[in-house]
């Protein structure tokens, strides 16, 4: 997944995706936020999905559509071939997690 995300479709993410990669630390914040920032809790979304459900979600990424337009092929097929090696039974359900990033502050 890491190689696919960064190397295969990485060049096709919009520039603003970098802010998510930086956990929004590159976004200018009002001074009261900077002065009162608190560490956000470690949150993530979770889903119990089979391989097809995961690939269906990934196929909605904006980088996937840009890749398809630029190259005329579907990169999700490449990922599916890789996942078959470590997830051989497509109907097997596994826990899938995504981190959630945000900036938190207390207003004084």
The domain spans of the chain are 2-105
Is the alpha carbon torsion for 37, 41, 51, 56 positive or negative? negative
Inter-axis angle of helices 51-58 and 75-86, nearest 10? 150
Query: Is residue 68 a contact partner of residue 61, using CB atoms and an 8 Å limit?
Result: no
Q: Which residue is it, tokens 């001074």?
A: 31
Can you give the pTM of this predicted structure?
Answer: 0.85
pLDDT of residue 24: 94
Tokens of 14: 């919009």
Q: Which residue is it, tokens 């904006």?
A: 62
Q: Which residue is it, tokens 């269906």?
A: 56
pLDDT of residue 107: 85
pLDDT of residue 108: 76
pLDDT of residue 85: 95
In terms of Cβ atoms closer than 10 Å to its own Cβ (0-12, 13-18, 19+), residue 43 is exposed
pLDDT per residue as tens, the chain (108 positions): 999 999 999 999 999 999 999 999 999 999 999 999 999 999 999 999 999 999 999 999 999 999 999 999 999 999 999 999 999 999 999 999 999 999 999 987
């Amino acid at each position: 997944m890491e190689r696919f995300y960064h190397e295969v479709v990485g060049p096709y993410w919009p520039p603003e995706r970098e802010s998510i990669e930086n956990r929004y630390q590159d976004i200018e914040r009002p001074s009261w936020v900077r002065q009162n920032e608190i560490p956000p809790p470690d949150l993530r979304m979770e889903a119990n999905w089979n391989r097809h459900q995961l690939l269906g979600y990934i196929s909605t990424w904006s980088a996937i559509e840009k890749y398809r337009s630029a190259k005329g092929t579907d990169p999700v097929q490449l990922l599916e071939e890789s996942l078959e090696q470590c997830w051989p039974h497509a109907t097997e359900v596994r826990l899938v997690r995504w981190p959630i990033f945000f900036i938190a502050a207390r207003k004084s």
